[in-house]
Amino acid sequence: MILLTQLLTCIKNSNFLVKSTTTNLACVRYASKKASSSTRNAPIRVRPKHRGWRVQDGYYVKESTILATQLKPRFHPGLYVGFGKNGTLYALESGKVMITCEKINPNMSHSWTKRNYADRKNSVIYKKHFNIIPESQHNRFILIDTL
């Protein structure tokens, strides 16, 4: 503190540095430690999506059961199977799952088809189709009246 007052009086006495009417004294405090941050970029742990078959051939499923999830068109819907916006195949009826391999003839004027099948334009394309065979109905109905 004594050193600071001596410095202040010395500055006031010297006319070439500071005018005698004002004193410009600023104390600057620098950081004593470096700001801490991570030293390496750790890998981001992304959970897998687990796409693919959910139900195997010959299994019995109920209505609205997810049969397969996909990013690109690997599987196509068959009888009593719905196709979601994100490519999910789901059962429209309760029944037995049957998976077949069938030849497809894609409509090349559609943008989705162009994006996925552009390189296979003049070739024969076989894809797996998921089908649901509904359970047979009972024969307990009795005809009461004829029209």
Which option is the CATH number for 52-134: 1.10.10.10, 3.40.50.300, 2.40.50.100, 1.10.132.20?
2.40.50.100
Q: What is the pLDDT of residues 67-104, one digit of tens each?
A: 999 988 899 999 999 999 888 999 999 999 999 999 98
Contact 62, 96 (CB under 8 A): no
Give the domain ranges of the chain.
Answer: 52-134
Contact 95, 74 (CB under 8 A): no
pLDDT at 147: 64
Q: What is the pLDDT along the chain (147 residues), one digit of tens a residue?
A: 566 666 666 666 655 554 555 556 666 777 676 666 666 777 888 899 899 999 999 999 999 999 999 988 899 999 999 999 888 999 999 999 999 999 988 888 878 788 888 888 888 899 999 999 998 777 777 777 776
What is the Cα 72 distance to its own chain's centre? 14
Q: Which among 71, 27, 37, 76 is positioned nearest to 52, based on CA atoms?
A: 71
